[in-house]
Structure 1
Amino acid sequence: MSTDGALSRSRLLPSLLGILLLLMGLAMLAGGIKLSMLGGSLYYLLAGIGIALTGLLLIAARRAALGLYALVLFASTVWALWEAGLDWWQLVPRLALWFALGVVMLLPWFRRPLLINGPAPMGTGALSVAVVLAGATAVASQFTHPGETLGELGRDTADMTSTAPQMPEGDWQAYGRSEFGDRYSPLKQITPANVGKLQEAWRIQTGDLPTADDPVELTNENTPLKANGMLYACTAHSKVLALDPDTGKELWRFDPQIKSPVGFKGFAHMTCRGVSYYDEAAYAKSENAASAVISEAGKAVAQACPRRLYLPTADARLIALNADTGKVCEGFGKNGVVDLTQGIGPFTPGGYYATSPAAITRDLVIMGGHVTDNESTNEPSGVIRAFDVHDGHLVWNWDSNNPDATEPLPEGEHYSRNSANMWSLASVDEKLGMVYLPLGNQTPDQWGADRTPGAEKFSAGLVALDLATGKVRWNYQFTHHDLWDMDVGSQPTLLDMKTADGIKPAVIQPTKQGSLYVLDRRDGTPIIPIKEIPVPQGAVKGDHTAPTQARSDLNLLAPELTEKAMWGASPFDQMLCRIQFKELRYEGQYTPPSEQGSLIYPGNVGVFNWGGVSVDPVRQMLFTSPNYMAFVSKMVPRAEVAAGSKRESETAGVQPNTGAPYAVIMHPFMSPFGVPCQAPAWGYVAGIDLTTSKVVWKRKNGTSRDSSPLPIGLPLGVPSMGGSMVTAGGVGFLSGTLDQYLRAYDVNTGKELWKSRLPAGGQATPMTYTGKDGKQYVLLVVGGHGSLGTKMGDYVIAYKLSE
């Protein structure tokens, strides 16, 4: 009796595991049958049979279970190697669970009940070999670097100098440091040798935190300025703070008291990426000193506010502030304010305002504006306007639907509805007399049958306008008849570039689709070849697709997705991701949106977004952080839109597209367990030698620490939302990753040199400056990003080298 009881208890564990394996096997078998019917891998069907039979044998306490499971594990290892090679993160969901169960089955107390009727040397030995083989595969994969390029730039100079507008070396006077948008500082105190000694110098909290009335996509994307002996930062609610550079002490604060007739909850997002700075004295001393005629009101502004900040607010105003005191410059516009809604026409609250700082020239403040994506076909104009830098009067306007009519719009008239907009930042070359506009597209993003001729020519491209008149000097369109939300979100970067044909004035335009277009900024001709490639055809009924799309020879495109590239946290959600992949329409990049549902890769967030790139003009190298995340777009005929459906953000949920025959459902391509369906890495840092147009290094960047249930920093390579900067000292900085760190990199190799843990998400672009103490500081706004789900905060943090 006691012997039978002991035997019964000893068989309990194999029986329980048998039941688990049986259920797992049946689940895999069901999914495997569906996947095979879609033309996918037969592995899941066959493995499901093997695992279910192993479960049945364990329940029956048969020693044959060991041999059968050995066969399943061995076959799984061979299959995983065939599909993924020695890629650790691809092997984990394929093998980790089966390896762990194999180890359990080899434990003596587990095997003993199966060997009552005699030993099973063949089964035990086979399972041991299979476990060792799977484990050895995992160990071997630790020494590989799939997807990475490990190289060196190999120089500190290319015998070039920066031709960006001059300013004190220790200043950072524009969003991209200068109106060239290069995000390059000539400071050299911080080097790869000493960056490990960086420590926090000070931190403040602005007090501007999310409220219950705010939209989901409240973002803290601000890059502060260092000018006039102060730091200038703006918050998501459009407040401006002037800080002491050495201590962070608040010197003054301006609150524009933003208002909305219905509150801010319905806004698509709320963002202030920065303010713009103007110094009368700097232009008086420059080679551009021959000024335009200044009105009496403008002269009064110049005298009362010789150093000014221009603040775009979330309720569509442009306010001029005295940079010394924070007081409004009354002579600018009407009592210091230009109403940006003039001529725009009606829009829903939050449907129009400027999220990015203005471009500044000797005479002009040049503004674009955010227009809510995918709300309707009757949205505000995307007009770009140039206001007088002194008194705020409108000098010219450029509307892509009416591109030749740049004379100021008469009072009482309206710009064209729904024209392509510029929500990002422009760049300026005052010597050439041009402003470079990265344009969005005509909303809605996925329906283009009703696009205007202006949209078809200018949207999703780069437009160079004459500074004096606003007339088009040249344009280059990067996405024809854009149906994928490939608006150009990055600021153009200007530099003089060393080429085989001599030094050329270049503009580099990063794009969501992964191409880095390099054009001669004088006339828009390609410096690096651009090819028109055939793309998939077949838009939804009533629409059409362009036969080709532009692709630069310089690009950071990832390989096209395949079923093998599907991922997950386990074999089960990986299988479900494979089923999703097979059910969606996907024919490579530029697969048109469809009623079936299309896989869009790169997705709406893009390879490059508003963070852009940074360029070292002396080394002639480019530093950036490409992302790789797929999205799903499904077109829904208007009559089939479910009652009560709603949009979650501009890139998730049901986008209404009122006025179009289709709404669209958009979301990231995720597994049922909430992890991406495509295999990592999803984010990198990369360095490009601009003299050869070659990627010299590319490394996975960021960990899963703040985006997984357990705070474990697995080095997957995660997406980043935010820009980089580079310094003459040979160090690059980036903070936009989903994990909460500011990181420093060796620009020569891409090696991570230092990181600092942040109290919230760092989805902003860092900057650097010299304090009154003569020390080089690195500064970052740390406030999180609502739609990315990073931790929110209200911090500004500065670092410097320890003594």
Structure 2
Amino acid sequence: MSTDGASSPSRLLPRLLGVLLLIMGLALLAGGVKLSMLGGSLYYLLAGIGITLTGVLLLATRRAALGLYALVLFASTVWALWEVGLDWWQLVPRLALLFALGIVMLLPWFRRPLLRGQAAPLGTGALSVAVVLAGATALASQFTNPGEMVKTGQLDRDAVPGMASAAPTQADGDWNSYGRSAFGDRYSPLAQITPENAHKLVPAWTYRTGDIPGPGDPGETTAENTPLKVNGMLYVCTPHSQVIALDPDTGKEIWRFDPKITTQGAESFKGWAHMTCRGVSYHDDAAYASEQSPTGTASPAAAPNACPKRIFVPTADTRLIALNADTGKMCEDFGDKGQVDLRANIGSFAPGGYYSTSPPAVTKNLVVIGGHVTDNVSIDEPSGVIRAFDVHTGKLVWNWDSGNPDDTTPLAEGKTYTRNSPNMWSMFAVDEKLGMLYLPMGNQMPDQYGGDRTDESEKYAAGLTALDIDTGHVKWTFQFTHHDLWDMDVGGQPSLIDIKTAAGVKQAVMASTKQGSIYVLDRATGQPVVPVNEIPVPQGAVAGDRTSPTQPKSDLNFMPPPLKERDMWGVTPFDQMLCRIDFKSMRYDGPFTPPSLQGSIVYPGNFGVFDWGGISVDPVRQIAFVNPSYMAFKSKLIPAADIAKQGPRVSETEGVQPNKGAPYGVILEALLSPMGLPCQAPAWGYVAAVDLTNHQTIWMHKNGTVRDSSPVPIPLTMGVPSLGGTFTTAGGVAFLSGTLDQYLRAYDVKNGKQLWEGRLPAGAQTTPMTYTGKDGKQYVLVMAGGHGSLGTKQGDYVMAFKLPD
């Protein structure tokens, strides 16, 4: 029997690998040709040629394959170092597959058929050197921490002399407003939990609301709720607008109110964008009973009523309901037996197209509410009117419509507020001493085309507007994005804080934004406390539209550097290459690249550097604790005549957004690889602290793991996006739960060190809070219900943690 190498079964292994390399090489070659034609890197074309030829040589069992592959691996290592240096997360995916194949080719049982009994050729030595070099490079990258967004520092103070919280007074252990106080500062004076003991936190109790997303619910059914702790109870709301009062120490249910929303049912929610309740609001007559009037006498207490303490909840079927905070019964004296119909004077809208997802503002005499309007469905959407109702009777006191901003007289029955005027869907901040409400504003639909916007909408969109509490008249307005074509509505609740500056203490309002700027303005006048500069931006809108020549940028900002082709990322060379092709196929000239028919990259993307979670501020230490995220999106304008060809709208980030009545629809989605991972390199999420006395970032660290968002649940700290807010405490510990992995985490505010993490049974894309129980213990509370659009695990959990007894 012949034993000639040509018929030996041992040649099967090189030939099988040859087939694999041939397929890989041809794929890289085809993609590399396309990428090079787009003006991109030539690497994939050259690597494709080298790997294809290596495959051909292996099929022929030629030992020259070893030397050629050594050249490919060596060149790939040099190229990777040139592009990204020793950045492990970018370097290793470029080399890992090629390195592993090099190891296989060096194995004796693989090389033997190629050498045919001859001494190892030069190619074997070259491949050995190339493999060692690639492995050593990857190993070296383990000991570096590159990235201009990562900063290590230490806050050297526990307090700034003379500085204290100016927020409305409440019991230290309470949390009586969405942002703890009407100032939206999310700062608690509690100090039992410290950097020294935070690692000891343990679960105290868990409660399940029973409100679990059903098969007929919108895709973005979310539990973004921040509970209140006041009046000796916890108040929780659920996505279907139920309100539940719990015992703070045990989590035991005290009462429950179900508004039985009229739109409930599998078919009713079809086409809805959101189903959420971010929180409820609380009003207590006794809190204002001792206030001094302008004449120096005590203000008279409100007339006795059956509901001296009230919980206000907006419902998904467009009602505002007042509940007795003690019993959960509707306050019969408010509106129509406890409720106000928010559809009044709004006009027509599709189910889910208008309602309030956020808690109203509550002042001494008023409850003030805005509304969510579905993005990019049509140009004939409901008004973004802000309405103020008497806190006791529910009577409309004033209305501010940015489409008719000077007339705040309650609109007469039968009249309709300005259609499609900019709305305010997020949370108010309130300074009752100054008599002002602060509104983070959205824009006029559609988001990506502004050719038909009115002068009024242009003035008040995508900025912060301050209104007089008593009348609704505009005190000032400051725009953060001119002629917004990128969905840069201001999502976060403004934070009010007194800041120590070189010119003295300033009463400031801080507004975080999607583009990454944090604007710090005098809250009485709207003038910048931290400088704001107008910077030139890319030009060239589609026909019928225009772009602003400049955009504002605060000196206090977390705007990322512009993306480059080498920032495109993937777990293999193939999805890296496809992301590069996607990147080079679209228009991208940096931040504020105009939308286009070609397709444009939006970075920062539509979720923004900061979204509705806002920021938290420590008025004593004079710092801000923030959680910036960095996720690129892409948008492509579709001529109206071609929209029907694109298929139906699925959600706000799936399918074509029709923009009925506008000349263009839009396809808007995250910039992802075919594997569903971000095309841009990690990290995608951070935590950071800013010194408010000098506007400098003290520290900034990657935050969160891919444990719950990758096929293999490995808790690698890559830095993942977070949707939800933070809070800080006098104890020097800050908390965040909004990351894509299922954890509530505690951080040392001085240096950003992660002190503790508590595993959660579901995603917690919300803002946690803290309070003192009847037992005198400090608790940390979070709602873990998940987020439909982000794909985090959904649930109905309310979880409390505390230090062990």
The answer to whether TM tops 0.5 is yes
Q: Which residue of 1 aligns with 2:273?
A: 268
Give the Cα separation in 2 of the matches to 1:799 and 1:510: 29
Q: Distance in 2 between matches of 1:64 and 1:432?
A: 81
1:283 and 2:288 aligned = yes
The separation in 2 between residues aligned to 1:436 and 1:582, in whole angstroms, is: 41
The answer (yes or no) to whether the contact 1:449–1:544 under 8 Å persists in 2 is yes
SS in 2 for 1:315: coil
1:62-92 deviations in whole A, cap 9, x for unaligned?
A: 2221111111111111100110111111112
Identify the residue that residue 596 of structure 1 maps to in structure 2.
598
Shift of residue 212, structure 1, vs aligned partner: 1.9
* Contact 1:288–1:362, Cα closer than 8 Å, also in 2: no
Q: TM-score, normalised by structure 1?
A: 0.98
Answer yes or no: is 1:650 the counterpart of 2:652: yes
Paired residues for 1:462-611 under 5 Å: 462-611=464-613
- Could you tell me how far 1:200 is from its partner in structure 2? 0.3
Q: Where does residue 55 of structure 1 map in the other structure? A: 55
Q: Is the 8 A contact 1:322 1:328 kept in 2?
A: yes
Spell out, residue by residue over 1:646-685, the C-alpha distance to the aligned partner (whole angstroms, 9 max, x if none).
2222233210100001111111111112111111111111
**What amino acid is the match of 1:631?**
F
Residue 199 of structure 1 pairs with residue 196 of structure 2? no
Deviation at 1:213, TM superposition (A): 1.9
Matched residue SS, 2:500: strand
Distance of 1:141 and 1:689 partners within structure 2? 31
2:760 aligned residue: 758
Rate the CA distance shift 1:605–1:291 in 2: closer, same or farther, 3 A: farther
Are the counterparts in 1 of residues 613 and 723 from structure 2 also a CA contact under 8 Å?
Answer: yes
Do the aligned partners of 1:7 and 1:113 also contact (CA within 8 Å) in 2? no
Query: Residues 290 and 299 of structure 2 are in contact (CA less than 8 Å); yes or no, is this contact kept in structure 1?
Result: no
Q: For the structure 1 residues 30 and 489, does the alpha-carbon distance in structure 2 shift closer, same or farther, using more than 3 Å as the test?
A: same
What SS does the aligned partner of 1:615 have? strand
1:182 counterpart residue number: 185
> How far is the alpha carbon of 1:714 from its aligned partner?
2.0
Task: Give the distance between the partners of 2:196 and 2:109, measured in 1 at CA.
Answer: 55
**C-alpha deviation, 1:293, in angstroms:** 14
Does residue 257 of the first structure (1) align with residue 246 of the second (2)?
no
Matches of 1:611 and 1:389 in 2, distance apart? 26
Aligned residues: CA RMSD: 1.7
Equivalent of 2:359 in 357, 372, 379: 357
Structure 1 residues 740, 226: CA separation in 2 closer, same or farther (over 3 Å shift)?
same
Which letter maps to 1:218? Answer: T
Letter in 2 for 1:56: V
Preserved contact between residue 604 and residue 651 of structure 1 (Cα < 8 Å):
no
Deviation track 1:507-537 (CA, whole Å, cap 9, x = no partner) reads: 1100001100111111011111111111111
Change (3 A) 1:500 1:202: same
Partners of 1:285 and 1:212 lie apart in 2 by 51
**Cα displacement (A) at 1:115:** 1.5
1:88 correspondence with 2:88:
yes
Q: Which range moved further: 611-620 or 650-659?
A: 650-659
Cα deviation, 1:671-726, whole Å, max 9, x if unaligned, reads 11211111111111111111110111111111111111111222111111111111
CA distance in 2, matches of 1:403, 1:290: 32
Instruction: Indicate the SS of the match to 2:591.
Output: coil
Give 1:146 shift.
2.4
Deviations along 1:127-177, one digit per CA (max 9) or x if unpaired, are 121111111111111122223111112221112111111100000000000
Whether the 8 Å CA contact 1:378–1:418 is kept in 2: the answer is: yes
Which position in structure 2 is the counterpart of 1:669?
Answer: 671
* Conservation of the 8 A alpha-carbon contact between 1:422 and 1:437: yes
Contact 1:292–1:363 at 8 Å: present in 2 too? no
- Asked if the contact 2:5–2:113 (Cα under 8 Å) also holds between the matched residues in 1, the reply is no
- Pairing partner for 1:639 from 630, 638, 641: 641
1:50 & 1:573 partners in 2: Cα distance? Answer: 19
- Structure 1, gaps ≥5 residues long: none
1:652 counterpart SS class: coil
What per-residue deviation string (whole Å, max 9, x for no partner) do you get for residues 304-323 of structure 1?
Answer: 11111001000110100000
Q: Does 1:334 align with 2:339?
A: no
Match of 2:436 among 421, 434, 437: 434
Contact map agreement 2:312 2:321 (CA 8 A) in 1 = yes
Moved more, 312-321 or 640-649: 640-649
Q: Which amino acid aligns with 1:165?
A: P
- In the other structure, the counterpart of 2:8 is 8
Contact 1:440 1:459 (C-alpha < 8 Å) held by counterparts: yes
Counterpart of 2:127 in structure 1 is: 127
What is the TM-score of this pair, normalised by structure 2? Answer: 0.97
Letter in 2 for 1:214: D
The answer as to whether partners of 1:433 and 1:466 remain within 8 angstroms in 2 is yes
Q: C-alpha offsets along residues 288-342 of structure 1, whole Å, 9 cap, x if unaligned?
A: 79999999xx956x52111110010001101000000001110011111011111
Residue aligning to 1:458 = 460
Partner of 1:11, secondary structure, is helix
Contact 1:344 1:415 in 2 (8 A): yes
Q: Do the aligned partners of 1:652 and 1:668 also contact (CA within 8 Å) in 2? A: no
Counterparts of 2:127 and 2:198, CA distance in 1: 50
What is aligned with 1:724? 726
1:18 equivalent in structure 2: 18
Aligned-pair CA distance for 1:4: 4.1
Confirm or deny: 8 A CA contact 2:5 2:116 kept in the other structure: no
> Is the Cα contact below 8 Å between 2:177 and 2:281 reproduced in 1?
yes
Q: Does the 8 Å contact 1:737/1:763 carry over to 2?
A: yes
Give the letter aligned to residue 136 of structure 1.
Answer: A
Q: For this pair of structures, how many residues does the alignment match?
A: 800
Note closer, same or farther for the CA distance 1:134–1:166 as it changes in structure 2 (3 Å cut): same
Asked whether the 8 Å contact 2:370–2:386 carries over to 1, the reply is: yes
Question: Secondary structure of 1:73's match?
Answer: helix
Query: 1:211 — aligned with what?
Result: 214
Deviates more, 1:120-129 or 1:136-145: 120-129
Give 1:243's aligned residue: 246
C-alpha distance in 2 between matches for 1:203 and 1:209: 16
Q: SS of the counterpart of 1:745? A: strand
What SS class does the counterpart of residue 641 from structure 2 fall into?
helix
For the residue of structure 1 that corresponds to 2:321, the secondary structure is: strand
Q: Which letter maps to 1:174?
A: S
Does the 8 Å contact 1:291/1:363 carry over to 2?
Answer: no
Give percent identity, aligned residues only.
70
- Tell which deviates more after alignment, 389-398 or 503-512: 389-398
From 732, 742, 748, the equivalent of 1:740 is 742
Find out whether 1:793 has 2:795 as its counterpart: yes
Deviation at 1:363, TM superposition (A): 1.2
Q: 1:746/1:506 Cα in 2 relative to 1: closer, same or farther (>3 Å)?
A: same
Which residue in 1 is equivalent to 2:403? 401
Write the distance in 1 (CA, Å) between the matches of 2:742 and 2:12: 46
C-alpha separation in 1, matches of 2:121 and 2:106: 12
CA distance in 2, matches of 1:291, 1:4: 110
- Secondary structure (helix, strand or coil) at the match of 2:668 reads strand
Q: Distance in 1 between matches of 2:515 and 2:657?
A: 21
User: For the residues of structure 2 that align with 1:364 and 1:8, how far apart are their CA atoms?
Assistant: 89
Task: Report the Cα distance in structure 2 between the residues aligned to 1:715 and 1:8, rounded to whole angstroms.
Answer: 48
Query: Is residue 490–residue 608 contact of structure 1 (8 Å, CA) maintained in 2?
Result: yes
- Give the direction of change, closer, same or farther, for the CA distance of 1:403–1:357 in structure 2 (3 Å limit): same
Label 1:42 to 1:283 Cα distance change in 2 as closer, same or farther (>3 A): same
Any conservation in 2 of the 1:381–1:420 contact (CA below 8 Å)? yes
1:79 is matched with 79
1:265 shift after superposition: 2.6
**Partner Cα distance (1:291, 1:486) in 2:** 45
Deviations 1:748-767 (A, max 9, x none): 11111111111111111000
Contact 2:435 2:469 in 1 (8 A): yes
CA shift in 2, pair 1:357/1:307, >3 Å: same
Distance 1:642 1:319, change over 3 A: same
Determine the C-alpha separation between the residues in 2 that align with 1:64 and 1:643.
52
1:772 to 746, 771, 774: 774
Deviation at residue 357 of structure 1 after TM alignment:
0.2
**C-alpha distance in 2 between matches for 1:329 and 1:290:** 32
Letter paired with 2:185 = D
Please give the per-residue CA displacement for 1:178-198, whole angstroms capped at 9, x wherever unaligned.
000011110000011101100
